[in-house]
Amino acid sequence: QVQLVESGGGLVQPGGSLRLSCAASGSIVAIGALGWYRQAPGKQRELVAVNTGGGSTNYADSVKGRFIISRDNAKNTVYLQMSSLKPEDTATYYCNANIGVRDGSGFYRHLDVWGQGTLVTVSS
């Protein structure tokens, strides 16, 4: 049993900053890739940033230079630092993780886990 919980969303003016957090909990053996996605009303969910299992990072072109994804493995937490926010960044932000667990028989396997989302609104 594992879960992800996002926090840190809210209302911010254009040009402002927010830091989103996503904490994983449960019977975690290891965490591989971690990513942040967002979904605006009436639009499809899109990838914002990813920290791969190998530790490299990639960003959507729309957020490069403004957003930073980072992780604290000791706390099983991933962050998204957002700066120079624009109205078009308004969306519900979701974290996603590939998490290694052991099933009831002790076998190792990976789960694709999503958080519940946190709303970010950028407006004057």
Q: What are phi and psi of 28, to 5 degrees?
A: -95, 125
Q: What pLDDT does residue 71 have?
A: 93
CA–CA gap between residue 71 and residue 13 (Å, rounded): 26
Tell me the pLDDT of the chain (124 aa) as tens digits.
Answer: 799 999 999 999 999 999 999 999 999 999 999 999 999 999 999 999 999 877 799 999 999 999 999 999 899 999 999 999 999 999 999 999 999 999 889 899 999 999 999 999 999 9
Q: What pLDDT does residue 55 have?
A: 76
Q: Which amino acid is at 13?
A: Q
Q: What pLDDT does residue 2 have?
A: 93
From 122, 93, 124, 92, select the one nearest 17 (Cα to Cα): 122
Residue spans of alpha helices (H) in the chain: none
Q: What pLDDT does residue 104 have?
A: 85
Q: What pLDDT does residue 69 have?
A: 97
Q: What pLDDT does residue 54 have?
A: 78
- What distance lies between CA 48 and its chain's CA centroid? 8
**Long-range CB pairs of 106-111, under 8 A, 24+ apart, other chains included:** 108/29, 110/32, 111/2
Query: Beta partners for 99?
Result: 31, 111
